[in-house]
Amino acid sequence: MTLFFTRDHEWVRVDGELATVGITDYAQGQLGDVVFVELPTIGDSVTAGKEAAVVESVKAASDVYAPLSGEIAKVNQALVDEPGLVNSAPEAAGWFFQLKLNDPRELDGLMDAAAYQAFVATL
């Protein structure tokens, strides 16, 4: 299993052709208290860089982009009832959805943990 990151502050954990997606600890810190999450529908096709979910904090609504293209295989229903999981466990129980990847070569465009940390340090 390998962890990747996007410049839009999503993380991606890849296991074979499945990729689990969430938002990073940095992102949840910037958003503040999350009060609502809208998840995609299982079976939806999503395109890398396009909106796939919505996260709303007390302050503002934000889109969560699909880091990779694929088909939604699973969604984290727990976030609907407990959106605060995005704050308390952003890179674990606060995951958003799981994708069946169309093209694993898209992973080449993502950052590893060290590159993401370096990127966040510039913000």
Partner 1 sequence: MSQSDSDDEIPPAVLPLDGWHRAKGARMVPFAGYMMPVQYAPGILAEHRHCREAAALFDVSHMGQLLVSGGAAAAALEALTPSDLATLGEGRLRYSLLLNETGGIIDDLMISHRRDGLYLVVNGATKIDDIAHLREQLPDEITLNHMDDHALLALQGPKAAAVLERLAAGVGRLGFMTAGAFELLGSAAWISRSGYTGEDGFEISLPATHAEALAEALCAEPEVAPAGLGARDSLRLEAGLPLYGHDIDAETTPVEAGLSFAIAKRRRQEGGFPGAERIAFELAEGPARRRVGLRVEGRQPVREGALLLDVEGAEIGHVTSGGFSPTLGRPIAMGYAPGPLAMPDSHVSLSARGKIFTAEVAAMPFVPHRYVRQGDPS
> Token pair for residue 75?
């969604």
Q: What's the min distance (Å) between Cβ of 24 and partner 1? A: 9
C-alpha distances out from residue 102 to 35, 62, 95, 110, 118, Å: 32, 25, 20, 15, 29
Which stretches does DSSP call E strand in 76-123? 97-101
Say whether residue 112 binds partner 1 (CB under 8 A).
no
Q: Is the dihedral of CA 22, 79, 54, 86 positive or negative?
A: negative
Interacting residues with partner 1 between 12 and 51 (CB under 8 A): 23, 27, 30-33, 35-36, 38
Adjacent-strand bridge partners of 34 = 57
Interacting residues with partner 1 between 52 and 91 (CB under 8 A): 54-56, 58-65, 80, 83, 87
Q: What's the min distance (Å) between Cβ of 71 and partner 1? A: 21
Say whether residue 119 binds partner 1 (CB under 8 A).
no
Binding site residues, partner 1, CB under 8 A: 8-10, 23, 27, 30-33, 35-36, 38, 54-56, 58-65, 80, 83, 87
